[in-house]
Structure 1
Amino acid sequence: MNKGEKRILSVSEVNASIKGILEGIPFFASLVVKGEISNWKRYKSGVFFDLKDEKGARLSCTIWNDYLEYLPFSPKDGDEVLAYGKLSVYALKGRYSLSAFRLEKQGLGSSLLALEELKKKLSKEGLFDESRKRELPKFPKAIGIICGKDSAAESDLLKNISRRYPLADIYVFNAIVQGSLAPKSLLNAIEKASKAPLDVLILARGGGSNEDLSSFNDERVVRAFSSFPKPTISAVGHEIDVTLVDFVSDKRASTPTGAAELATPDLEELKETLLEDEKRLQGSLQKLISIKEAKLRSLSSRPFFLDPTSAYRLFEEKLENYRKRLHNQMESKLSFLALRLKKDQEKLELSSPKKTIGRGYSMLLDEKGEVLSSAQELSEGTRFKAILQDGIVKAISEGKEQDE
């Protein structure tokens, strides 16, 4: 190499040089780093995770199985810890990380504390109450899906919904589901979904670390999802992953496939149910037919059905008996009334004026034929008639005489 000519290094040589320099500095050989655990992932050889602080800075870390078993607690995302270890460089990738051998728990990290505070706040407002939960429609006509574009969650949902219940229309609203742009993208998707003619809405994404799922703990997203006008299903992460949207959704599924099963009836199961209902209906109809046939046989064995004319003759005989009874009752009644009339007539004749006149009395009548019963009615010159036993005498009054 000529003087002044720069040495050309390979990538491996650069990375190896950096590794030698950093790992050779005594300061980096014994570090104690304070931070909040994020992206805690267990592998066969050990655990890979990040430490982060309130400024958003991150440090990649590893802790191998030889040290894991001696930890006094079970670390998880959100724990604030002191990590003891040394700086290590992975030359092949040119990455440095903290190779930890001990962790001491300091409490909850700031992000987890903020999440707990938000959870308490929303719970106090009643957003998690069971009374707010709505029933999912049994036979939805339209199903909405909010998920990442071309994601495994989208593929699983489309496949399972179409297989189980192809009668439903599917509306897909793609959104960014991870990173700083995710909350706004999810809010836009929820707003679009609210304007579609949906019967149920599914919010889904696959598993990930707490950091990956943080968008589903965003207060704006949680509130928008909780106020969606139709029943909702959350399918975020795996069974062990729980986000705030899970608390406000009407139903929670551990996987996108589970969400598809919650949102739809199984068409095959529906067919089996219909077949069973058909069998039960046929059985009920057959039973009813048997009952009616037995009743018909019972009726057909009666005399009327065996000999209809006999019933007619019996009815005719009854009618004749009724006629005779009515005739006899009428004759008896008429005889009684005739006898009563005769007696009344005899009484009337006994009290008749003619009978009285026949016994030597007379009856005076004025010109109008009305009976005169007082001398006051016969003033002088008054014409009147006197009815006697053997005739009628016309007379004129000469006036009234005083009684002696």
Structure 2
Amino acid sequence: MNKAPGKTADNPYSPSQLNQLLKNLLENEFDHFWLSGEVAEYYQAASGHQYFLLKDDNASIRCVFFRHNNRSQHPIEIGDQVLMLANTTVYTRRGDLQVNVLRLQPLGTGLLALQFQELRKKLEQIGLFSKEHKKNLPKMVTDLAIVTSRDGAALQDILQVFKKKNPLIKVTLYHSLVQGSEAAQMLIQQLRVADNNQHELIVLSRGGGSIEDLWCFNDENLCMQIFNTVTPIATAIGHQTDTTLADFTADQFFHTPTAAAEALAGDFVIQIQRVHELQRAMQQTIRQLLIDRQQRLDLQQVKLTALHPHVIIEKQNTQILHLRQMLDGLAQKQLKQHQLIQQKLELSLFQQQDFYQASEHRLNRLNQSLHQEITEKLHQTKLLFNSAVIKIEQNSPLKILAQGYSHTKNLKNHQTVTHSKQLKVGSLIETQLKSGKIRSLVKELYEDEDI
């Protein structure tokens, strides 16, 4: 007699036995499999386990995603399209067929969005987006590098704006793929080349597209290259609503290539006017500076001329000539006075002939005495005159210079140097000799010493 459960009415299955049997059969029959669909009737328990229906247009099945299998910890929302690695099982308490989810990831753009957020969080944590690392863009760009596709609309948009608003900007194109699996590496290489060529600014750009089209601009290595580039980098990727990790890493990002060109080109006419204004201001400043320097030079020239040894010597020569004239005048005056006295005496003698005859001898002696006195007076006057002349000549700067002495002045303040304390090491001095001048740089100074 067969006593296996469920084979006879005498030995029926219990609900728990049947559910356990079904559970064992399903788990042994079906290995792990991939399953996709849309999330519906989502519920998360306090334990962290997640329960939901996975459906398509014609059917649905219950799913359980246990907390210990959920490594990503990303929330699931109703309406998400997901891809799951799972196996089948039976919830034995109710006999419900359900799918045990082992791994879950969003499908399509949902998966890319998940990867975008994970990488953004990683790069943000290591400081790639920090404002303190951002470099300032040049206020006026004259030498620009563009890393983009030579066949893309982004390049043409930028060039059209530059042609209209600022044709003087020098643009160097570094061609690269901007879409596909090889694009990120090619962009990195071209950024390195552009950085080595030392442009004022690098613009990384492409036109709009789907998240898949722009995905190369979310490459981690590309972001690291942007961060490590010495040249300031601006990005202009996609449309107004597109944002990539390259935008967050760049020193500045623009929403569109056209917006970047508008901002970088500036207003050419205003820039030219500004250049002309700066040029005029610079010329005026230079003219005023030259006038001031010329006035200072003229003033110093006047001071130098007044203190020049030749001028001083000329003044002394004039004083000597004046003294000689005074001495000559004094001698002539005394001679005339004596001549007048002699004439008066002769006239008196002529009028008094008798007295003259009687006093002729005495007059002769007086005449001799007078003549001798005049001679001695003239001799003494000449001696005094010659002595004065000798003293003047001995005190003349030229005489002193001719004896080997010199006149020294400090070129910084044009003062005559009479003591070493007036100078310091490194002072520039000028020495006037009898013939010629010497300019010297003071290397050592000594206190008063015996000569």
Normalising to structure 1: TM-score of the pair?
0.43
Q: Which has the higher helix share?
A: 2
